Amino acid sequence: MNNIEGNKKLLKIVIVLLLLAGFYTCFQAYGKAVSGEDGYKVMADFPMFYKAGKDAISRDIKQIYDVDFAAEIAALPDGNKRNKNFLPFLYPPQSLIFISSLGFFDYYTAFAIWFILPLILLAAVIRSAYVKQIFGGVISLPIVCAVYFSFVLTAFIAGQNGMIWAALIICVLAMRKDKPILAGILLSLFSIKPQLGVFIPLLLLFERNFKVLAIAALSFLIMSGLATAIWGVDIWSLYYQQAGIFLKIQKRAFEYIMVSSSPYMAFRMLPATYEYAAILQILLLLAVVAIFFKMLRFCKSEENILLLVSFSALLFSSYSYIYDDIILALPCLIILKKLLAAEYEDELSSYMRLAFILTSFIPVIAIKLHHQYIPYCFIAILFSFVVVTTYIYKNRLIEK
């Protein structure tokens, strides 16, 4: 059996297991939600967005950023926060330009819009010429759907819409050379969730693509000015007060570790204080930035750039959760493409296979390890980052 046939056999096994694990996770989530086990709720984060949308329409900024409520949540013992009907709203004021639209609909219609529109956008992006060029026809649509299934399921369970950020990363990378104005506007949206798009500006700096950066900065200023015109200057001070309270929660709240994929939360599981975890996070992010710029010198293809941008972002961020890991689904498929295109076995092949398996199973295994304090997401992302950067360096002379 040659290497391609072996990898195809592995693929069939992994895809079947992914689908079974995804459906089992869905069944478990439904059972827990019905029984009310441990305050478990499906779509638990969405009430926060929906309430913010309603409050934004009424322009009640003290309800949008309810500092007293945030302080009350911060004082609760670990494990009790999920019993609340909603959590404090933590996104910056410019996000309200979009989130306020939810307030015009009833709850379930708003959730359908919140979840389905980003899913449609992601599906359209996956079928775009840019992604087809990356895959070159190696990966079929059913395989794409199977890998994305558990990532999308996690977003649904959490009441999040990570699909839109996964789509935006691909869009900005695809448009940055030929459509700089649109790329810049889309890049400015990452000001709402900057930890996921932080390496795109660094890539643009490396490429000296200052036009996209300038348009992104201008678009950000326009959004911020519009938010200020609608909700007033005071909304910014309330937001920063809220953010400060949330940082205090992050320093001690171990309940967030089970659904976090950030290095900081993984380091919190060590017998060390949050100060040491923060130091380790800073050292890691400095190393990741240095490796990122070094590897960009060797990147000869868009697929390698997408691998670097995606894995680097989640190692850089101290604040990310398993529903954010959907940005790794396409990189996971790129790793699979490289395996299926490899006609020979080398010393990296086994590590590439393991990276594909670890990454593709991130959502279902992370949920299954809930309350086990095992940083599976961080381990999988760090391992895959090392494998990917090693692959890029090794193939720096032949990759096209």
At 211, list the tokens: 């036009």
> Rounded to 5 degrees, what are φ and ψ at 260?
-100, 145
Instruction: Specify if 221 maps to a domain.
Output: yes
Domain that holds residue 283: 3-394
Per-residue pLDDT of the chain (400 residues; tens, 9 = 90+): 466 676 677 777 888 887 787 777 766 665 565 555 554 566 778 888 999 999 999 988 888 898 888 787 777 665 555 555 667 888 999 999 999 999 999 999 999 999 999 999 999 998 888 888 887 766 777 888 888 988 998 888 888 888 999 999 999 999 999 999 999 999 999 999 998 999 999 999 999 999 999 999 999 999 999 999 999 999 999 999 988 887 776 665 555 566 778 888 888 877 666 788 888 899 999 999 999 999 999 887 889 999 999 999 999 988 888 889 999 999 999 998 888 876 556 778 889 889 998 998 888 887 777 667 788 889 999 999 999 999 998 876 555 4
Instruction: Specify if 209 maps to a domain.
Output: yes
Calpha distance 308→364 (Å, rounded)? 24
Instruction: Specify if 283 maps to a domain.
Output: yes
Nearest to 86 by CA among 76, 99, 73, 71: 73
Instruction: Specify if 399 maps to a domain.
Output: no
Beta bridge partners of 260: 321
At 34, list the tokens: 């019905």
- Cα Rg of the chain (Å, integer): 21
Calpha distance 176→174 (Å, rounded)? 6
* Residue 301: alpha-carbon gap to chain centroid: 23
Nearest to 46 by CA among 106, 111, 104: 111
Instruction: Specify if 206 maps to a domain.
Output: yes
Instruction: Specify if 160 maps to a domain.
Output: yes
Instruction: Specify if 264 maps to a domain.
Output: yes
As for how many domains the chain has, the answer is: 1
Instruction: Specify if 276 maps to a domain.
Output: yes
Nearest to 82 by CA among 267, 317, 258, 242: 258
Calpha distance 152→88 (Å, rounded)? 24
Of the CA atoms within 13 Å of residue 341, those in its CB half-sphere come to: 13
